[in-house]
Chains A and B, each alone.
Chain A
Amino acid sequence: MTLFAAEAIHKRFGARVVLENISLGFERDRVHGIMGPNGAGKTTCFNVLTGRHAPDRGRITFDGRDITGLAPQRIARLGIARSFQIMNLFDDTLVIENVLLALPAFRGRRTSVLGKVFEDAGLTDAALAVLDLVGLADRAWEKAAALPYGDRRALEIAVALAAEPRILFLDEPTSGLGAEATQGLARLLDRLRQRYTIVIIEHDMRFLFGLADRISVIHWGQVIAEGTPAELMADKWVKRSALGEVA
């Protein structure tokens, strides 16, 4: 069943056409991949889907509700979370604090004094549970800055998950990661796929083809191809490319 849908989205910045008649649908509890060459419009597509930019034309629905043009905070509150290509963490605070700050239960509290939070075992437990999901529970009390790059990405995903989203958008999660960290991330996302609907923009085709249930290829601001990894791989030119070696 389609949880999130974009219909005939158009977006331009001045004379530059970035998205042209893009339609996408993301099924519940599936991993959906979005790939495309540089400048094809992938990040703008994410920004429009998650409400950072309003589309010029077109409609976006989440769980049957029209969310076109809603403010990013309102969209986030509906259960749509995203991570960014560039890390967004509070380096000087503890790993667990990064997650605590994103918990709805924390944000709902009257006091924002972080020191008091640790007296609230319920909140701490909730944050630890999220960290456990991404395999970082045992590093909860370290400074975020101390984490290796791959773990920082996992923490970033934990921050997104802390908001209790129903759909998680990840913008180039492998960017800056080495081969080993990329594999670790793939294993993490493979565990999360049972609980979340995940949408990943990705450059690393090997990573994406190993993980996604369905992939949309964006070029010239349009969806030029779409299918399961196996369907996309069946093309003779794709087989001839480096991508053909992935299968």
Chain B
Amino acid sequence: MTMLEVQGLEKVYRKGWLDRTPTFRLAADFTIEAPAIVGMMGPNGSGKTTLFELITGSNRPSAGRVTVQGQDIHKVRTDERDRLAIHYHQSYQVRHFRSLVPNLLLRKAASDYPMVHLFDEPQFNTQDGYIGFMLAFFRRLRAEGRLVFLCVHPNERFHLEILQEICEQFIFVHKGTVTELPDYPTLLAHPPARAYLGGLVERAPSSE
């Protein structure tokens, strides 16, 4: 069964109820068939967290569908959506779901332990050793057949090392546009990604 299908997904934020001028538009269309560790990057405000929220069902799309292991997550009971996908914040986890449809009319989650795990900028610190444990955790989830998203905002050389070491594919989010990139060299060749990573890549010996 396909792990994750993001079909015609769109989230539009508007100025207000009266002035309907769009202020931000995120569009995504991609499919991830098999378990993987996917690196996600993009400048601040590009829509990464919104995309994570749409995938985990904590933010309602303006259009489109998110299907996790065959279930439309936005049609699952709000109190069971985290059995399909989890959004991990830096260290703590807060889950807040809202739905206009009462849980009574929504479906039960088909899984008990989530298939999709999204890590939103975990704090990587070379001093304390937790990087090693976190990477081991991502690998274990992957080995257990899960799909792992790792969102990193690289501002140090070792952040790129981590991404290169652990991610099998990448998603780059730029001004609300979501681009799939099959591997690390393709990521570096993608002009917006290249511009975003800037000096970190120039200085990287491994990219020469």
Which A residues have a C-beta under 8 Å from some C-beta of B?
Answer: 12, 15-18, 20-21, 37-40, 205, 217, 219-222, 224-225, 232, 235-244
Q: Are B96 and A37 in contact (CB under 8 A)?
A: no
Q: Are A235 and B94 in contact (CB under 8 A)?
A: no
- Check: B136 CB closer than 8 A to any chain A CB: yes
Q: Are A225 and B137 in contact (CB under 8 A)?
A: yes
Additional 8 contacts, C-beta under 8 A, given A235-B129, A235-B133, A236-B132? A37-B91, A217-B133, A219-B134, A220-B93, A238-B129, A242-B128, A242-B129, A243-B128
Q: Which 10 residue pairs spanning A and B have beta carbons closest together?
A: A237-B132, A235-B132, A243-B129, A224-B137, A241-B129, A225-B133, A238-B132, A17-B93, A237-B131, A238-B129
Q: Are A15 and B133 in contact (CB under 8 A)?
A: no
Q: Are B88 and A220 in contact (CB under 8 A)?
A: yes
Instruction: Write the B65-91 contact mask toward A (1 if CB under 8 angstroms, else 0).
Output: 000000000000000001000101001
- Which residues of chain A come closer than 8 Å to B136, judged between CB atoms? 224-225, 235
Q: Which of B135-149 contact A (CB under 8 A)?
A: 135-137
- Which residues of chain B come closer than 8 Å to A244, judged between CB atoms? 129
- Which residues of chain B come closer than 8 Å to A240, judged between CB atoms? 126
* Interface residues of B, count at CB 8 A: 23
Shortest C-beta distance, A240 to chain B (Å), equals 6
- Which residues of chain B come closer than 8 Å to A222, judged between CB atoms? 137
Q: Which of B78-135 contact A (CB under 8 A)?
A: 82, 86, 88, 91-96, 113, 123, 126-135
| A236→B130 CA distance, assembly (Å) | 11
Q: Are A241 and B134 in contact (CB under 8 A)?
A: no
A15/B128 contact (C-beta < 8 A), A219-B133, A224-B136, A237-B135 known: no
